[in-house]
Chain A
Amino acid sequence: MSAPGTTSLLAERIGVARSEGRSALIAYLPVGYPTVPGSIEAMVAAVEGGADVVEIGVPYSDPGMDGPTIQEAVEVAVQAGVGMADVLTAVAAVAQAGAVPVVMSYWNPIERYGVQRFATDLAAAGGAGAITPDLVPDEAAAWIAASEEAGLDRVFLVAPSSTPARLATTTAACRGFVYAASTMGVTGTRATVGDAAEVLVARTREAAGADLAVCVGLGVSNGDQAAEVAAFADGVIVGSAYVRQLLDGHGPDGVRALSADLAEGVRRR
């Protein structure tokens, strides 16, 4: 293992997938739904089914970027008082299962926990870094400093509405990969992924150069859509479809089966 600050766990894992001629599969699940142990079991099942990276969701009371599926699960976790200690437990469990854990959090839970403390504890638990959907680089000075010092990845988002100038500054602030939010809207499964994703990925690559992986999220729910996105992206991010498995009572088995379908999709040529 390299010293902190030198290796990006996310870039490394996505690089392995690329060397196998495929995209990486990134699975999102929130901590605390249906329970903390139940959510960790589901994350491990996602890894067993073929996820390379698990986005570990921090429950938040005001998830302004999430659609009804994720809102429903997260609200249960918020009511149960799930906090950062539970998140760190999940991080360690995912690392143990052999995938790369990355935390996905709205900004206030991290600021409340303490930015420095979060970076230190996340690194100690084996986490790669964090995805911050409502933190743009313009407001991220403290997080950039803390993550730099702890050797953690920072994933910011780009969107179809991002100007070329913002694509350049945002990707320059990223470490690990950049999250291309493929459609204008909130999280949730969609019937079609649409052309916007491919256009955005091309624009992002142009701004970022070849060194930063571009992963696509928002709307992917099955192997066919995953294959479609894998044709032009370094990683495919799936969230609501995983959560749907749990909401519908299919449990870890449902999550494992979905992972297997998606993992086959990202390998299709």
Chain B
Amino acid sequence: MTATTAPPTPVASLTRPRPEWPDATGHFGPYGGRFVPEALIAALDELTEAYEQMRVDPVFLAEFERLHRDYTGRPSPITEVPRFAEHCGGARVLLKREDLNHTGSHKINNVLGQALLTKRIGKKRVIAETGAGQHGVATATAAALMGLDCTVYMGEEDTRRQALNVARMRLLGAEVIPVTTGSKTLKDAINEAFRDWVTNVETTNYVFGTVAGPHPFPAMVRDFQRVIGDEARAQLLEREGRLPDAVLACVGGGSNAIGIFTAFVPDADVRLVGLEAGGDGVETGRHASSITGGDPGVLHGARSYLLQDANGQTVESHSISAGLDYPGVGPEHSHLHDLGRAEYRPVTDSQAMEAFALLCRTEGIIPAIESAHALAGAITLGRELGPDALLLVNLSGRGDKDVETASAWFGLGGTRGDAPTDSDERAVEDGHGGEPGPALGTPEETTVQDGDAL
């Protein structure tokens, strides 16, 4: 295979042929659609139409490309991580460095597109939901850049475990509203954002953070995120002269995973592996693995896999990672799962934190705990595939925001004077809190092969 030219720009991504799904009304096979109050249909129609016009408008495309290059810092590089890969059965591991984007994650790819769309439809205010705070920070950033008012809904529980991101959003001029209903996490923040939207839809656009929700969000967010995979595919052909054997990404709502998968969907020999948050283990019921441990239903405007009880009530999810702590998943993932084109595996809190520490100590990269789930998947899959395998892992975000949670997990002791958060308590309870030393040994001491100590 011959090498190709430079990675495609975001513009090239948007004008590229799209997958055959969704259909005109937003269905990915039996999934997706629009399960919303009639009051929102007009706004969703307006967004759909405006987006379809915008994505082929040369003026928009030039602005979008300029922002991604000069503001976000695209293309993001590929980094090979050989010392980490020693723990992956000898497979080679390449990271797609979305953690190096401005604001620290892949979320910026999507919000720049949706913020430009907001201006195009003449609205002055944006609202967003956020779990880990990455989408909230990205939205607050885009709003500051483009002069839009910004309100972010965040579960009260998440405002505690991601306090750094709350401060960032406020510094950027956004109003952060802690949501105290239900489980006080991402799902309730989405409910509250929808309530705001239906009330203020004349002036307000909802900048949705992931490939879930009602049509057009799953398709539109995918289109904005597919630059990850389009770039990575070209970068791999350029430097390796071949495609990877597998592409791995963590899946909460699933936007970084769809972003890196989409370019590879037609490459039948490339395995697409989504890593769901397994929490304490799917068998314990305390997890966030919607595909592995849930079944189809309707939540937040779309049909997809979700965690629900016999009465159809959404079941609370559990994960050490706020960004994956969501009981649903984007409809395209449900479709890819049913088609057998992608596979979804759970990664427990412990496995994710083991991979987190390993990347820190072997490569000098502190990943987001979300992305550490994908790294844990690489450790397992690498051992299954053996030394010739080439794995591409989406490092969707950086771990600055997770320093306190990780410190508590590994018992590194506090650098803060304030009381521990719920998440810290969870980390201490589940991890090695209070026991210094063995939790974070040198890589050589690390016995990840046994899947326990670290």
**Which residues of A line the B interface, CB within 8 A?**
59-65, 67, 71, 75, 78, 81-84, 107-113, 133-136, 138-139, 156-163, 166, 170, 181, 184-186
Closest to A187 in B: B195
Among B30-38, B238-246, B398-406, the one that faces the other chain is: B30-38
Chain A: CB-nearest residue to B308: A112
Question: Which residues on B sit within 8 Å (CB–CB) of A158?
Answer: 38
- Asked if A64 and B34 make an inter-chain contact with CB atoms under 8 angstroms apart, the answer reads no
Are B201 and A184 neighbours in the complex by a CB distance under 8 Å? yes
Q: Digitize B385-398: 1 where CB-to-A-CB distance is under 8 Å, 0 elsewhere.
A: 00000000000000
Q: Would you call B297 and A111 a contact (CB within 8 A)?
A: yes
Once the chains bind, are A112 and B198 in contact (CB under 8 Å)? Answer: no
Q: Which residues of B from 178 to 202 have beta carbons under 8 Å from A? A: 181-182, 187-188, 191, 194-195, 198-199, 201-202
Are B38's CB and A136's CB within 8 A? Answer: yes
Question: Which stretch, B260-268, B309-317, B418-426, touches the partner chain A?
Answer: B309-317
Query: What 10 A-B pairs are tightest by C-beta distance, nearest first?
Result: A112-B312, A159-B39, A109-B312, A83-B311, A161-B42, A185-B199, A61-B313, A108-B312, A108-B298, A61-B314
Shortest CB distance B175–A (Å): 19
Q: Does B43 contact A (CB under 8 A)?
A: yes
Instruction: Say yes or no: A162 contacts B38, CB within 8 Å.
Output: yes
Q: Are B198 and A185 in contact (CB under 8 A)?
A: yes
- B299 interface residue, CB < 8 Å from A? yes
Known: A64-B300, A139-B33. 13 other contacts (CB 8 A): A61-B313, A62-B299, A62-B300, A64-B194, A67-B195, A75-B182, A81-B311, A108-B312, A111-B297, A134-B36, A136-B38, A159-B38, A186-B199
Of the candidates B25, B40, B298, B310, the one having the most CB atoms from chain A within 10 angstroms of its own CB is B298
How many interface residues does B have (CB within 8 Å)?
34
Q: How far is the CA of A186 from the CA of B197 in the complex (A)?
A: 10
Query: How distant is the Cα of A156 from the Cα of B36 in the complex, in angstroms?
Result: 12
Is B381's CB within 8 Å of the partner chain A?
Answer: no
Question: Is the CB of B177 closer than 8 A to any CB of chain A?
Answer: no
A62-B182, A64-B195, A108-B299 as given contacts; A139 in contact with B34, CB under 8 Å: yes
Contact between A170 and B312 (Cβ–Cβ < 8 Å)? no
Cα distance, A112 to B25, chains bound together (Å): 23
- How far, in angstroms, from A113 to B42 measured CA to CA in the complex? 30
- How far, in whole Å, are A67 and B36 apart by their CA atoms in the complex? 16
**7 chain-A/chain-B pairs, Cβ below 8 angstroms:** A61-B314, A63-B191, A83-B310, A134-B298, A157-B39, A162-B38, A166-B41
- Residues of chain A within 8 A (CB-CB) of B310 are 83, 112
Do A160 and B39 touch across chains, with their CB atoms under 8 A apart? yes
Q: Across the interface, which residues of B come within 8 angstroms of A67, CB to CB?
A: 195
B194, B201, B297: which contacts A161 (Cβ < 8 A)? Answer: B201
For the complex, give the distance between the alpha carbons of A107 and B310 in Å.
Answer: 14
The residue from B38, B43, B181, B312 contacting A166, defined by CB atoms under 8 A apart: B38
Q: Tell me which of A59, A82, A111, A185 contacts B298 (CB under 8 A).
A: A111
Instruction: Write out the residue numbers on chain B whose beta carbons fall within 8 Å of the beta carbon of A161.
Output: 38-43, 201
B22-56 interface mask toward A, CB cutoff 8 Å, 1 = contact, 0 = none?
00010000000111111111110000000000000
CB closest residue in chain B, given A185: B199
Would you give the 0/1 interface string for B355-370, flagging 1 where the beta carbon is closer than 8 Å to chain A?
A: 0000000000000000
Q: A134 vs B195: C-alpha distance in the bound complex, in angstroms?
A: 13
Most chain A CB atoms below 10 A, which of B25, B39, B299, B301: B39
CA distance A32 to B25 in the complex (A): 36
Is the CB–CB distance between A157 and B42 below 8 Å? no
Q: Which of A81, A83, A113, A134 contacts B37 (CB 8 A)?
A: A134
Residues of the B chain whose Cβ atoms lie less than 8 Å from the Cβ of A59: 313
Report chain A residues within 8 Å CB of B199: 184-186
Give the distance in Å from the alpha carbon of A134 to the alpha carbon of B229 in the complex: 34
Please state if A181 and B308 are interface contacts (CB–CB under 8 Å): no
Contact B34 A84 (CB under 8 A): no
